[in-house]
Amino acid sequence: MKDVITRFIEYTKFYTTSDEESQTCPSSERQLRLANYIADELKEIGFENTDIDKNGYVTAELSANTDKKIPVVGFIAHMDTSPEITGENVKAKIIKYTGGDIKLSEEYSIKENEFPEIKNYKNQEIIITDGNTLLGADDKAGIAEIITALEYIKNTPEIKHGKIKIGFTPDEEIGRGADLFDVEKFGADFAYTIDGGPIGELEYENFNAASAKFKIRGKSVHPGTAKNKMVNASLIAAQLISMFPESQTPQNTEEYEGFFHVVSLKGSIEEAEVVMIIRDHDKKSFEDKKWLCRKNTEILNKKYGHYIEAEIKDSYYNMKEIIEKNMEIVETAKKAMEKAGVKPLIKAIRGGTDGARLSFMGLPCPNIFTGGHNFHGRYEYLPVESAKKAVDVIVQIVKEISDN
């Protein structure tokens, strides 16, 4: 059997960045190369009903090896990586961390004072990049951990289990991972996304999420004769951004605090565009944030004339609403972690997963750690021991479900 680290490093070599400008599914053809590779691997291992559908979703199953009536559990991860930094030509390497800063390249280092969590892994092996790309533990580590755990279960017949389902999705990083996921065909009673961060994370709460796109039209006039005529779209964009509270930005919030996050800004005198994401765990605060987007647009349109259009779209909601009715699946994961020697860290996700939307689609789906840190950036790393523990937890979850 292939070990989880070998498998993960193989996956990092696939360039799978999703493309939010694309309207296809998957959003980037390159994701299909990893999908086909994984499907071939699943078939070789001997999983049944392995399939890639026309949209790039990979599914497979491990048949029950007992007549005992056991709920069908699914394990889900995503194949794409974040478009916030390139995932092309990833050069993953394993180092023994002995303390202090980790030099990735001449220009970039994981600095202990900036990322103090690194101190928890002193004298452990960790996987890092060369500083030019992200690593891709979000979520190729999750894929590797699921396959490694279930291959072990398949080859260990003394572990009695019910039917187990596997699902690997495209385009999670751009909020579309669950768009075309066929919950009914998948056929699980519940599932777990393996898409969390540091070791021990167990999450069944996440942000309510929306996007806000502000399109601003301006009026270009020669600056020498512009008085009372020019309307500078870029300056209106800057003013719009300044109207949102600085205290409610990602760098100034934590835990259950929501935020407004400007993800892109482009403009000229004639036109400008501000794209923002809105996040909050509390539904009322979430609605208030969307109201402020509309109110600020109204204020500026009254000031300048009708030059701004706001398009606000909900992305996903807090899965706590669904999972609270199915808390036994959280308890199962908690017990599995404890038996695997992992201290459960139950917390709210400051983000979202495919599981958030799948929960509202009829598939309750809490989230479990991969072990990775600093996702979506060049400082991402994955402690080897944490990834191995994720494998152990998946195995223990299957045992817990079968024993109950």
- Residues marked as catalytic: 80, 172
Could you tell me if residue 362 is left (phi over 0), alpha (psi between -120 and 50 degrees) or otherwise beta? left
Strands, E, within 28-98: which ranges? 48-52, 58-62, 73-78, 93-96
CA–CA distance from 312 to each of 21, 291, 371 (Å)?
A: 17, 10, 34
CA nearest to 34, candidates 10, 53, 50, 4: 10
Q: Angle 283-304/233-242 helices, nearest 10 degrees?
A: 140
CA–CA distance from 267 to each of 207, 218, 273, 390 (Å)?
A: 30, 10, 6, 45
CA–CA distance from 387 to each of 117, 139, 164, 188 (Å)?
A: 16, 12, 21, 25
Q: How far apart are CA 356 and CA 94, in angstroms?
A: 32
Tokens of 359: 């929960």
Strands, E, within 113-184: which ranges? 125-128, 164-169
